[in-house]
Amino acid sequence: MNDIVGKACADEIAARVENFVRQVIIPYEQDKRRDSHGPTEDLVREMREKARKAGVLTPHILPGGAHLSQMETALVLRKSGLSPLGPVACNTAAPDEGNMYLIGKVGSSEQKAHFLDQLVQGRSRSAFFMTEPASEGGAGSDPSMMKTRAKLDGNHWVISGRKAFITGFQGAKVGIIMANTGTPEKMAATMFLVDLPNPAIKLERVLDTIDSSMPGGHAILTIDDLRVPADQVLGEINEGFKYAQIRLSPARLSHCMRWLGAAIRAQEIATAYAVTRHAFGKPLIDHEGVGFMLAENMIDLKQAELMIDWCAGVLDSGSLGTVESSMAKVAVSEALFRVADRCVQVMGGTGVTEDTIVEQVFREIRAFRIYDGPTEVHKWSLAKKIKRDYLQRGKN
């Protein structure tokens, strides 16, 4: 598929996704089938069945398994994000979208048939097990602190440890577990594919968090002598950190794509409010204090879009894009949070109610500034690169 044909195809898919989200999914925002963590499994199944019939289920993966380029994916995922329920309905949500990408890149043909196909078809959800409890000094932003261990026992690996903030675990059918398979002298990690649920993986609790768009929420769990067949190692032994990088940059960027769509929708709602609501003799938007906030939002939204497209182009060139995705994640998450915050402010009391999705978008994007690496960790990593590059230039 050449670039022109690919862009046209992506534009057409994106248009269908937008129409579906606006016409079919946005009305579900008033549906009460949800708990404090996200939509219920019943609601997810119902929305996905409608997406399947509309031809927009897993739209970024084409029939035959071909994946849209990152540039093309950006067009589609942005439209799915116009509602917080859109990514779940269209099967473009985290962590499934990133897990499908990783298994597609690294998995064997047998693993793809068993684990990937059910995810692409929207019949199952998945979870990615990496983060560990901070209270135990486990892995978080620094994965080298991983305490979950996997030991070889015959033709099985035995995994034990605790994991935290495992998004979507409750109700998931597919898991990717990262565990330490290194030595005391040299840290290494391996990824394992597992069927869920499994009695050796015990849910401790689902955390109450400010975001509420993820089915299954974010769980703390214990893994107690989980036996995984050796043929369910994802990729090669001790290469887990390398594979995490393959997943990480596109997953960071797809978060940016989806939340850009949500912020665009918040801007639409705030704009309608500011144009139709009057105070002190004129529409709110004619007061500079309000109109300027919406103008600043327009600027931030365009900058976020351009940053996403730039990083997508880097990834499409074949680069891992580790640095570029860090830059994009910081720039986009901070810009979109400003947008959401201003939308709440423009709408006053209405902005903090559940009468519109603006307050939810605000909460979700606030959490996004932490998920997939807090802003400060990305800046620290970028500062290390700046120093490294400077010292390297001094040697030349």
Highest CATH level, class, for 241-395: mainly alpha
187/146 Cα distance (integer angstroms): 9
Residue 347, token pair as written in the block: 């709408």
Domain map (residue ranges) of the chain: 3-93, 126-234, 241-395
Q: Which residues of the chain have pLDDT under 50?
A: none
CATH fold of 3-93 reads: Butyryl-Coa Dehydrogenase, subunit A; domain 1 (1.10.540)
C-alpha torsion sign, points 331, 337, 339, 342? negative
Burial class (CB in 10 A: 0-12, 13-18, 19+), 310: middle
Q: Render pLDDT for 145-192 as a digit per residue (tens, 0 to 9).
A: 999 999 999 999 999 999 999 999 999 999 999 999 999 889 999 999
Q: How far is CA 38 from CA 22, 84, 194, 210, 343, in A?
A: 20, 10, 24, 11, 23
Residue 195's identity, in one-letter code, is: D
What are residue 370's phi and psi, to 5 degrees? Answer: -105, -45
Supply the pLDDT for residue 184: 85
Structure pTM? 0.95
What are residue 361's phi and psi, to 5 degrees? Answer: -60, -40
- Per DSSP (E only), the strands in 259-386 are 278-279, 282-283
CATH fold of 126-234 reads: Butyryl-CoA Dehydrogenase, subunit A; domain 2 (2.40.110)
Supply the pLDDT for residue 396: 66
36/208 Cα distance (integer angstroms): 7
Supply the pLDDT for residue 174: 98
128/244 Cα distance (integer angstroms): 10
18/106 Cα distance (integer angstroms): 31
Supply the pLDDT for residue 4: 57
